[in-house]
Amino acid sequence: MKFIILILSLFLFSVSSYSQDNTKSNVEFTSDSLEVDENQNLMIAKGNVVIKSEKETIKADIVKYDKSLDKATASGNISIISTDGTIIETSEIILTNEFKDILALTLFTKFKDNSKLKASKLSKISDRSVFFNGEYTPCDCDFKNGEKPVWQLNSSEVTHDKSEKMIYFKNVVLKIMDYPLFYFPYLSTPDPSVRRKSGFLMPAIGYSNRNGLETTIPYYFTTEDESWDSTFTNHFKGKNGYINQLNVRKKYPSVFLETNLFQGQVDTNNEDKDKVFAGNLYFDGKLESNWHVNASGKYSDQDTFMRRYNFDSSTNYKNFIKTNKITNNSFSEIEWYKYTNLEVDSKINQPNLQPSIKHKVFLNDKNINSEISLNAHEIKHDEGYNIQRWSSSGILEHKVDNEFIDLILSAETGLDLYAIKNRPSSDVNDNKYLDRFSLGVSVLSKKDFIFNISEHDLLMTPKVQIVSMHSTNRKNDVPNRDSSDYRIDHANLFLINQYQGRDNIQTNQRLNFGIDNDLNTDIGSFSLFIGQSHKIGGTNQNIVDTDSNRQSDFITEIQWINSKEFNLSYNALFDHHNLETNYTSVKLSGEYSNFYYNLIHRSVNKNLISDNSDREEIQFSIGKKIDNWKLSYNNKYDLNDNNAELIEEEILLDYVGEYMFQDCLSLKLSYKNKDGAPDRDILPENSIFLTLSLKNLGDYGLNSLF
């Protein structure tokens, strides 16, 4: 017969002590049998003994309780089950202080996240548990019965503070495959019940031919306010000094803010042990009036140290504030920005926009579409120019309904006012205040034709457009700053003002034509476009292409979408006279049975480049996913001057599952080769990088550079 004693109601054994918070402790007992010795103030419970308190339940075979000492001794198969899911197994424990304080010998602990801890002794007082000679692992193995985990932490003392929700380790030895790899005098980590907690993150150690021995030691800060956190990291760069980094992140209901500050003393191209400072800030938010605000700022007091030590590869910084608002029929934008160039050869060009204001309204009424734009901006130090411009423009488009052909009538007009306050010495034009009126009209006709080829439909849509643009002649007065990289392609072929922007508008008449072709077959869908623009009259100046003939390049675009296994796209501009390519772009990609590939080749003729030099480059990547492993190879080659110079190369072996090896460790191994760095202060570099991700402890990095 099972005896039940609730709240120790027996007078002889009534518990009259108080817990630390001065409230009486309520403890429930159950057992198969109960013996009471009133003379010795002794109670012995046997068989399936359960002692249940507010925070934990203790199960044992035998429990002996001495009231005079407020001491209970449990033996047999003992388990302590906490409300947070922690389970402790041992063969003997001593309970005091109303069964809240515990002393146990030779125990095994299993936490809620399946991590495990063995120890020779446990001392638990209130919410603080101290394990002596502890061995900890999160690995999925029979750790209790001696199976070796992939990795474990051995510590002379492990403290689990439930009130702080932290686990502290002293004199820690990290073992991987039972081999002692690292020693840490102190280590802390949040316990499994919390999502985040202040403490040291996993450090990284490496070696490079430039710095020698390197270490990275991050410390993570949190508060009770989960809307923000921060990380302080010391980057020790060996013989070249150190850099400290402070990262702060803040999240509001509709705003995100992040900033990084860098401070240190490292060798730079200016001097050894140079005191350096840099910072960046990113802001993204939405205001109540549906205005979206985006801002970014960067600063460095030394031009190259951020790139030299791999914190930021940028060679120019754009500091800006941009705000925009989008409605069903309008778009508004205000932007301020300033460029800071960190390259010696281009420091003269650091434009400052203050500000640019844009507003567009879109109107639709049956077959009539219209657009009204208002723009104003002031830009300074743009290659020696200081310019103010005010522009207004409108576009009207009308589709004429008929049964034979689609006819679209369009008109565009605009008024631009300029105040050019400064010009570089190379520009001898002294006109400061200019105005320009422009008016353009076009007639575009198109027709869809459907042909059946071997039970497959081919859709062909030829387009022909006649355009006439009239503008006040300002070709030599207004510097072409907003469309200097212009070249004709499919995107601007049928625009009234092909040059885009408002700085380059010229009086001319053009005939534009092209044909779209779309075909769906058993081997995928094909699309092809061929087009060209002919100048009938007027001018065609101030463009990058130095060969300003009446005929533009032939524009070609081909796309073949087979499936996810094979996709091909090809864009090219062919010279009208000799059909030589002025520009090509080929993209080939696909994925099949966990195998993927990607090939990109681009070439640009010097006629389309401002520095009058050819460009040719090819990028290739290939990879294979095998179970949870990913093996990939990437490279990039510069093909100028009939050479094949390797710019960068990477081989990557990555475990893309959560964890491997007993569900507690995963790794990433990469080889990188960077050659021909574009910076005078950044040397070509080869590196081997190994990252070990340890469950519950973060990442550990081994970096070897040679």
pLDDT in tens, 319-340: 999 999 999 899 999 999 998 8
Residue 82's pLDDT is what?
A: 84
Q: Is the residue at 590 inside a domain?
A: yes
Q: Does the pLDDT at position 476 exceed 90? A: no
Place of tokens 């439930």: 162
pLDDT computed for residue 396 by the predictor: 95
According to the model, what pLDDT value does residue 33 have? 84
Distance of alpha carbon 296 from its chain centroid, rounded? 16
Residue ranges making up the domain that contains 545: 393-613
Q: How much is the average pLDDT of 389-408?
A: 91
| Helix/strand number for the chain, H first, E second | 1, 42
> What pLDDT, on the 0 to 100 scale, is given for residue 445?
95
Same domain, 93 and 140: no
Query: Is residue 617 scored above 70 in pLDDT?
Result: yes
Shortest CA distance to 51 belongs to which of 80, 92, 12, 75?
80
pLDDT at position 600 is 95
What does DSSP assign to residue 53? Answer: -
Does residue 213 contact residue 205 with C-beta atoms inside 8 Å? yes
Q: Is residue 51 predicted with pLDDT exceeding 70?
A: yes
**Residues in a beta bridge with 234:** 217, 244
Q: Are residues 605 and 474 in the same domain?
A: yes
Question: Is residue 494 pLDDT above 80, yes or no?
Answer: yes
Q: Are residues 51 and 182 in the same domain?
A: no
Nearest in space to 511 (alpha carbons), one of 531, 544, 533, 539: 533
Q: pLDDT value at position 610?
A: 62
Q: What is the structure's pLDDT at 346?
A: 56
pLDDT score of 347:
60
Q: Residue 612 pLDDT more than 60?
A: yes
State mean pLDDT over 451-468. 90
pLDDT higher for 699 or 144? Answer: 144
Dist CA 257 CA 269 (whole Å): 33
**Any idea of the CA torsion for 541, 546, 549, 550, to the nearest 10 degrees?**
-40
Angle made by CA atoms 354, 360, 366, in degrees to the nearest 5: 175
In a domain, 479, yes or no: yes
Are 126 and 87 members of one domain?
Answer: no
3-class SS letters over 239-271: HHEEEEEEEEEEECCCEEEEEEEEEEEECCCCC
- The pLDDT confidence band at residue 543, using thresholds 50, 70 and 90, is low
Residues 119 and 89 grouped into a single domain: no
Quickly state the pLDDT bin for 392 (edges 50, 70, 90): very high
Say if residue 469 is in the same domain as residue 556. Answer: yes
Q: What percent of the chain has pLDDT over 70?
A: 86
- Which pLDDT score is estimated for 459? 92
Q: Is a pLDDT exceeding 50 seen at residue 7? A: no
Query: Which range, of 36-50, 59-73, 196-210, 532-546, averages the lowest pLDDT?
Result: 196-210
Taking only the tens place, the pLDDT of each residue in 116-173 is 888 888 888 877 888 889 888 888 888 888 888 888 888 898 888 877 777 788 898 8
Mean pLDDT score, 637-648: 80
CA angle 548, 554, 556 (to 5 degrees): 145
Average pLDDT over residues 224-232: 86
DSSP state of 24: B
Burial profile 625-661: b = 16 or more Cβ within 10 angstroms, e = fewer: beeeebebebbbbbbeeeeeeebbbbebebbeeebbb
Tell me how far apart the alpha carbons of residues 38 and 10 are, in angstroms, rounded to a whole number.
11
Q: Residue 8 pLDDT more than 50?
A: no
Shared-domain flag, residues 34 and 138: no
Q: Do residues 411 and 469 both lie within one domain?
A: yes
**Torsion 344-346-349-350 (CA) sign:** negative
Query: pLDDT-based confidence at 10, cuts 50/70/90?
Result: very low
- Judge contact between 298 and 340, C-beta under 8 A: yes
Decide which of 177, 197, 217 is a domain's last residue: 197
- pLDDT at residue 611 in the model: 64
Residue ending a domain, among 613, 636, 656, is 613
User: Which of 141, 163, 197 is the C-terminal boundary of a domain?
Assistant: 197
Q: How confident is the model at residue 90 (pLDDT cuts 50, 70, 90)?
A: confident
Mean pLDDT of the 246-253 span: 91
Tell me if 287 is assigned to some domain.
Answer: no
Q: Are residues 515 and 594 in the same domain?
A: yes
The answer on pLDDT for 23 being more than 60 is no
Q: Are 698 and 665 in contact (CB under 8 A)?
A: no
**Mean pLDDT on 510-514:** 95
Query: Which residue did the predictor score with more confidence, 656 or 706?
Result: 656
User: How many domains does the chain contain in total?
Assistant: 3
CATH number at residue 35: 2.60.450.10
Residues 173 and 53 in one domain: no
One domain for residues 124 and 41: no
The answer as to whether 8 is a domain residue is: yes
How far apart are alpha carbons 440 and 416 in whole angstroms? 15
Question: Measured at the alpha carbon of residue 141, what is the angle toward residues 139 and 144, in degrees to the nearest 5?
Answer: 110
The average pLDDT across 592-608 equals 86
- Predicted local distance difference test score (pLDDT) of residue 682: 61
Looking at residue 307, the DSSP 8-state letter turns out to be H
- 528 assigned to some structural domain: yes
Does 371 reside within a domain?
A: no
pLDDT at 19: 32
Long-range contacts of 327-332 (CB under 8 A, 24+ apart): 327/290, 329/361, 329/362, 329/363, 329/364, 330/359, 330/360, 330/361, 330/362, 331/358, 331/359, 331/360, 331/362, 332/358, 332/359, 332/360
pLDDT 10s digits, 659-676 = 777 777 777 777 777 665
How does DSSP assign 562-588, residue by residue? Answer: EETTEEEEEEEEE-TTT--EEEEEEEE
379: nearest Cα among 359, 351, 400 = 351
Give the DSSP H or E segment for 366.
none
Same domain, residue pair 476 and 563: yes
Q: Average of pLDDT values for 380-390?
A: 91
Q: Check whether 1 has a pLDDT greater than 50.
A: no
Average pLDDT, the chain: 83
Per residue in 399-433, pLDDT (tens digit) is 987 888 999 999 999 999 999 999 988 888 888 99
Ordered DSSP codes for 689-701? EEEEEETTTEEEE
Q: What is the pLDDT of residue 685?
A: 62
Q: What is the mean pLDDT of residues 179-187?
A: 80
Question: Which carries the bigger pLDDT value, residue 614 or residue 478?
Answer: 478
Is residue 227 domain-resident?
no
649 inside domain: no
| pLDDT tier for residue 194 given thresholds of 50, 70 and 90 | low
Q: Scan for tokens 């009231």, then name that residue.
A: 67
Task: Looking at mean pLDDT, say which of 177-191, 264-278, 678-692 comes out highest.
Answer: 264-278
* Other residues' Cβ atoms within 10 Å of the Cβ of residue 578: 6
pTM score, two decimals?
A: 0.69
